[in-house]
Amino acid sequence: MRRHRSSKPSCDRFDGRRSTLTAPEQSKEDDVGSDSTSTSPAGPRSAAVRIGIDIGGTKTEAVAVDGCGRVLYSVELPTVPGPRAVIDTAVAAANRVAELSHVAMSGLDAIGVGVPGTVNTVTGEVQHALNLGVTRLDLGNQLAQRFGSTVRVDNDVKAAALGAYRVMAVRNSMAYLNLGTGTAAGIIVDGRVLRGAKGAAGEVGHIPIDPGGARCPCGQRGCLETVASGSGIARQWSTDDPYPVRALLAAAAGGDLAARAVQRRLVEGIASAVRVLVLTVDVNAVVLGGGLTRLGRTLIGEVHGVLAGWAESSPFLESLNLPGRLMLVPEGSHAAAVGAALLGDDGSWKS
């Protein structure tokens, strides 16, 4: 288990980041906000403190944030697949961060949860979270019973988009392009999550770019996700490395022509997703996040190069300044968990 504690924040600006410590500090009886009230048995509690939980395929992170959105504490636990284990891990992480923050879980107005899969934001039910070993799970109600508080559940990419939008202080509109096992975007317009008629807004990973390409898990052929995602790289590049993109980049840097071809498809696929998001929604910024960006930060420069090359042959694309809209979510920002803590703030969440 990892835990981090930041110093007491000021509210000069919203910032989801926290200072990094070389070792966990001892828990202190600090006020975690300016409006503290006494609770029992957890001790002092600030009404401004919120807790967000990001349930991922490999780790579950819980954060406590203050009224400015700054991370006070974070706790990470390895995710264990299966419905009961997913719930138990989320409860353990949230309870620990609440304990560190001197917050009573039952005294919170709401707890936010971001989770992969298809999420019914009215009922809190999650379906098709396959990397969690979950086909259908009444996540919201079961967590609410365990916590004794209201629980808001949303798709993890949409929660991360909300967190990145607030952490990075983007104005007007933004797309958070998550490059992980799959590829998807969360779109924010005027501070609100854009969902669409069926909740499919931002599913750019399932836009076909090659009718004769590989079969996608969605049932179509040649989707962006088949070349521009962790699963797409794993399919194209066989390796014993637990992070196939790392092995791919190393082989490409070593001059392997096959690796370079796979890398080129990856880079062009990411650039295509950026172009689609700008052409369809005309967002001010496209923020890249997810596991691929952490393992292959050098990819970002290559994506810039592809976008710049397209602009050279298209005055229209040049006028849109696609490279200038590309941003990278800061490391240590906890965007997904922070966004979960803020669910409901944007007004688009259904309760």
pLDDT of residue 242: 87
pLDDT of residue 296: 61
pLDDT of residue 48: 78
**3-class DSSP state for residue 348?**
coil
And the tokens for 187? Answer: 């779109």
**What is the rounded distance in angstroms from the CA atom of residue 53 to the CA atom of residue 209?**
34
H helix intervals, the chain = 83-101, 139-147, 156-167, 230-236, 244-253, 257-281, 291-295, 298-313, 315-320, 322-325, 335-341
The pTM (predicted TM-score) of the whole model is: 0.82
Q: How far is CA 226 from the centre of its chain?
A: 20
Could you write out the DSSP letters of every residue in 296-318? -THHHHHHHHHHHHHHHH-HHHH
pLDDT of residue 128: 86
Query: Which residue numbers in the chain have pLDDT < 50?
Result: 6-10, 12-46, 350-351
List, in order of start, the domains of the chain with CATH numbers: 2-161+333-341 (3.30.420.40), 171-328 (3.30.420.40)
pLDDT of residue 171: 87
**What is the rounded distance in angstroms from the CA atom of residue 193 to the CA atom of residue 175?**
10
User: How does pLDDT run across 265-311, given as a tens digit for each residue?
Assistant: 999 999 999 999 999 999 999 999 988 887 766 788 899 999 999 99
**3-class DSSP state for residue 156?**
helix
**What is the rounded distance in angstroms from the CA atom of residue 61 to the CA atom of residue 160?**
12
pLDDT of residue 330: 86
Percent helix / strand / coil, the chain, rounded to 5: 40, 25, 40
